[in-house]
Structure 1
Amino acid sequence: MISLQQALEQIGATQLTVLDFSSTTWQLFEKNNAKLFAKIQQVKPETDVHHHLLGVLTKAHIEVLSQIEADKDSVRAMNSTFKQELGESHAAKFQYQDGQLLLLITHIWIYLQGYLAMDFSLANDHAENSATMLVGIQGGNAEQLRSEFMASFYLARGQKTQFTNPILCWLKKIFQ
Structure 2
Amino acid sequence: MTDLKHLFFSLGLEQLDLSEKEKNIINAFIEQSTPRFNDICHQRQDKEPLALLLGYMTQQHHIASSRWIEQQTAYHQMQSVFQSSVGTEHASKFINQDVDEYILITLLWLLVQGANKIDYSYANEQAETLLAHIHEETKESNDSKEDEQLRQRLMQAFYQGKKTTQQSLFTKLKRMFRLTQQQ
Q: TM-score by structure 1 length? A: 0.78
**Letter of the structure 2 residue corresponding to residue 154 of structure 1:** Y
1:67 alignment partner AA: R
Tell me the SS of whatever aligns to 2:42.
helix
Structure 1 position 163, deviation (Å): 3.1
d(CA) in 2 for partners of 1:54 and 1:132?
23
Map of 1:109 onto structure 2: 109
Distance (whole Å) between structure 1 residues aligned to residue 19 and residue 8 of structure 2: 12
Within a 5 Å distance, the mapping from 1:26-175 to structure 2 comes to: 26-79=26-79, 81=82, 84-86=88-90, 88=92, 91=93, 94-138=94-138, 139=140, 140-141=142-143, 143-144=147-148, 145-166=150-171
RMSD: 2.7
Instruction: Quote the Cα distance in structure 1 between the aligned partners of 2:68 and 2:3.
Output: 27
Structure 1 stretches lacking a partner, 5+ long: none
Gaps of 5+ in 2: 179-183
Aligned counterparts of 1:147 and 1:118: Cα–Cα separation in 2: 17
Give the structure with higher Rg (CA): 2
Distance 1:77-1:146 versus aligned 2 partners, 3 A rule:
farther
Pick closer, same or farther for the CA change 1:134–1:119 going to 2, 3 Å. same
Which stretches of structure 1, 4 residues or longer, exceed 6 Å deviation after superposition? none
Q: What is the total number of aligned residue pairs between the two structures? A: 165
- SS of equivalent residue, structure 1 residue 45: coil
2:110 and 2:157 in contact (8 A); partners too: yes
1:19–1:104 CA contact under 8 A, matched in 2: no
For residue 108 of structure 1, report the CA deviation from its aligned partner.
1.0
- Shift of the alpha carbon at 1:79? 4.2
Change (3 A) 1:18 1:77: farther
Q: 2: distance between equivalents of 1:38 and 1:5?
A: 11
TM-score (norm 2): 0.75
- Note the C-alpha offset of 1:36: 1.1
The higher relative CO (CA closer than 8 Å, separation ≥ 6) is in 2
Change (3 A) 1:116 1:133: same
CA contact (8 A) 2:114 2:158 kept: yes
**Residues 33 and 56 in structure 1, CA contact (< 8 A), matched pair in contact too:** no
- CA distance in 2 between counterparts of 1:41 and 1:110 reads 20
Does the C-alpha gap of structure 1 residues 167 and 44 become closer, same or farther in structure 2, counting only changes over 3 Å?
Answer: closer
Percent identity, aligned pairs only, is: 23
Distance 1:146 1:22 in 2: 19
Residues 7-59 of structure 1, C-alpha deviation per residue, up to 9 Å, x if partnerless? 10111123211365641x22442243211101001101121101111111111
